[in-house]
Amino acid sequence: MVQPDLQTVRLSNGKEITVHTHLFINNEFVPGHGPLIETINPATEEVICSVHSADEQDVNAAVNAAATCFKDTWRKVAPAEKARLINKLADLMERDRDELAILDALDNGKAFTVARDVDITDSIACYRYFAGWADKIHGKTIDTTFDKMCYTRHEALGVVGAVIPWNYPTMMAAWKFAPALAAGNCIVMKTSEITPLPAYKFAALVKEAGFPAGVVNIITGYGHTTGNYLSGHPLVSKMAFTGSTATGRKVMESSSTSNLKKLQLELGGKSAQIVCADADLDQAAEWACGGIFNNHGQSCNAGSRILVHESVHDQFLELFIKHTKAMIKIGDPFEEDTFQGPQISKAQFDKILNYIEIGKKEGAVVSYGGKRWGNKGYYIEPTVFTNCHNQMRIMREEIFGPVVAIAKFKTIEEAIDIANDSDYGLAGSVYTTNLDTAITVTNEIKTGTMWVNCFDVFDQSTPFGGYKQSGFGKELGKYSLQEYTQVKVVKILRSSKI
């Protein structure tokens, strides 16, 4: 007997919510042919429900639905109508903001207030921003020779495949869906198998908004099966992937051996925050604290290495720990004042605790935290390591948890060298009151984003993406539209001669 699509689940506060558990293909919730996957509440370690996963035939069905819709329907829809539909979707998300935030908090473990006020709010803004671009994607006319006319067209790619991670279930979907739809593509998205529930609520809103069947398709499954089928599918023209560098390599491989898809990869990071001797130390400590501990440290751009000038190290550390204590209230995601909920899973929980032990063995000093919090749920205290150097594993490897490593530097040149001595290049920051220092550091650090006297500040109009093994391609802003279009050149020989 096939498990019914709609399931009722209970929250920790006693309230109930109804969730979709089937795949969303061609505007319908349909059973999947892959194994059922249990999704776990990381705050309680209990099963929320089981969801259907997609096998190869389900991936084929989703991609074929998208390809048919693009060919027969979506590419013929006027850009202004696309904009209206995207704005309508944003309206519905605003109406159901609390429900989307509840599902983010339930499935992911993040604080409900953070999910509502940051993740969902920013996602709605993302759809509105790109709705404004839908009818403004233009080509150019080019003067060549007198007897010829030349112009360019910025055309949709067709079917876009997307794979999103578990750390921002609704927001990462928005970063893919919004520009893809505005540029005129149809899309098949695979959610993380760990956090599928918010995406299926979103799918119901897509249908309610009135999008043609096949424009948006959402499936769930494991990366090595469902994800591999999607990235290797010959009808998918582009893959947009956010996740680990190791998995990004596999996406590149399957894409290259199928049809040489266009790729956009946003991968791992080990971002450095540089605190100069002339910085406003209290301000720097507060921003640096958020830079690592936002979203429980589960962010690819997390500022997990803090490099502090030796002359202000002790003063900065005192302020940093003060702000950590003041900012971070650990607890049930549905309590109003919770800032940090549990880590996403038992596997991630164990990985982070193992890194804490590695740091101790390497000679780093735990100056704050370093232990499990409570006895139920995947909670870990915010952890501050000092006495660190850049050859330690906790300084080089992505931990993806609430763990920060602090090291000293003597000169700004040394700080730049340490920051650049990394396989990653996603983000970074510098705290200084000297404009020349700010310009020097931001110019020299090899990362896709540099913040000055702040961290983790995002905006829908600002592009985001990495250098080196943090990937390539840009999310957000006008730049991201280039990732979802291709340029065609048209040359016409004029028949008349003058």
Give catalytic residue positions: 266
Q: Taking a C-beta distance cutoff of 8 angstroms, is the pair 263, 252 a contact?
A: yes
For the packed helices 197-209 and 97-108, what is the interaxial angle rounded to 10 degrees? 160
Q: What Å distances lie between residue 391 and 232, 254, 395, 419, 465, CA to CA? A: 37, 33, 7, 12, 25
How far is Cα of residue 452 from the mean position of the Cα atoms in its chain?
Answer: 22
* Cα–Cα distance, 45 to 277 (Å, whole number): 44
Q: Residue 354, exposed/middle/buried by CB under 10 A (0-12, 13-18, 19+)? A: exposed
Rounded distance between C-alpha atoms, residue 290 and residue 302, angstroms: 9
